[in-house]
Amino acid sequence: VKEHGRNSVRQFIPEMGATAISRMNMEGAMRRGLERGEFALHYQPKIDLLTQRIVGAEALVRWNHPQIGLIHPIEFIPLAEESGLILPLGEWVLTEACRQQVAWLEAGLGALEMSVNVSARQFRQEDLAERVAQVVAATGIAPACLALELTESMVMQDVNSTLLALRTLKQLGLSISLDDFGTGYSSLSYLRRFPIDELKIDKSFINDVHVNEDDAAIAGAIIAMALSLGLRVVAEGVESQAQVDRLLAMGCTQVQGYLFGRPMDAASFVAKFQAGVRV
């Protein structure tokens, strides 16, 4: 029986496959990485096209693995979400982003709005608002300078609890942004009922907005709807002046994208945008 047990263990391992093993390694490595300070935030500027000035920054997490190097979030956020590590990681991200916003304010970069991505699992935490309030108090960020980015699919999942969660968060004085807008399926009536401040048009509609009339029609409809509901609207993934021209013609005045700045580390961000430098 013993021998059989050993054999079955031996046979079981290859069947688990490399993915299962590397996934266990990765979870442990992420946990240790969080303790050892291997995660970092990069910041991408948000630009107002009318003033040509930076109005905010989006914090985007990176993992600086000692052997592998810089790992992008698409590689580890899904596993972090699945394993629950996203909760301590997300809390670290929020704290670090708020701390940075205050440091930049003190360094003379102006009252930039700091946008922080919130995962589905974080959003479903019962005590999310209390946790955010604690971070706001601990870092001293003005709540008006903090925006939480939620995805459309997250908020549409359970609209009643979403409404409650959003109202509680809004009482703190921060902004709520709907990320990747257009890729989920929002009920427009909820869009009106939810206390939302901003829509971010997904990059997939922006890529060809200057050449594809269908994409331009969708982007144009989102912009018109946002403006008529009194929401801010931001185009993400803007890479060319042709896209800018088309977006401006449709009334969209805020953009993020490689044309104005890639996500960069905090030191590069300060060097580039100190003293409210025009882009």
Applying CB under 6 A, among 119, 139, 177, 254 the residue interacting with ligand C2E is 119
Applying CB under 6 A, among 145, 162, 237, 273 the residue interacting with ligand C2E is 237
- Does the protein bind ligand C2E through residue 239 (CB under 6 A)? yes
Applying CB under 6 A, among 49, 60, 147, 233 the residue interacting with ligand C2E is 60
- Does the protein bind ligand C2E through residue 243 (CB under 6 A)? no
Q: How many of the other CB atoms lie within 10 Å of CB of 16?
A: 11
To ligand C2E, the closest distance from the beta carbon of 72 in angstroms equals: 4
Residue 223 is encoded by which pair of tokens?
């912009």
**Residue closer to ligand C2E, measured from CB, 152 or 180:** 180
- Does the protein bind ligand C2E through residue 74 (CB under 6 A)? yes
The distance in angstroms from the start CA to the end CA of the chain is 72
| Residue 122 phi, psi dihedral angles, 5° rounding | -60, -45
Q: How far apart are CA 170 and CA 236, in angstroms?
A: 24
Residue 60 contact among ligand C2E, Ca ion, none, beta carbon within 5 to 8 Å by kind? ligand C2E
Q: Could you give the string, one character per residue 93-112, with x where binding to ligand C2E holds by CB under 6 A and - elsewhere?
A: x-------------------
Identify which range of 11-19, 72-80, 126-134, 216-224 contacts ligand C2E by CB under 6 A.
72-80
Residue 215 contact among Ca ion, ligand C2E, none, beta carbon within 5 to 8 Å by kind? none
**95 closest CA partner among 114, 69, 121:** 114
With contact defined as beta carbons under 8 Å apart, do 98 and 114 qualify?
A: yes
Q: Which amino acid is at 89?
A: L
DSSP letters for 20-76: HHHHHHHHHHHHHHHHTT-EEEEEEEEEETTTTEEEEEEEEEEEEETTTEEE-HHHH
**122 closest CA partner among 75, 68, 169, 182:** 169
Number of residues in contact with ligand C2E under rule CB under 6 A: 21
Contacting positions for Ca ion (CB under 5 A): 117, 149, 179-180
Q: Could you give the string, one character per residue 183-222, with x where binding to ligand C2E holds by CB under 6 A and - elsewhere?
A: ----------------------------------------
**56 closest CA partner among 184, 207, 232:** 232
Judged by the rule CB under 6 A, the positions of this chain that interact with ligand C2E are: 44, 60-61, 72-74, 77, 90, 93, 117, 119, 179-180, 236-239, 256-258, 263
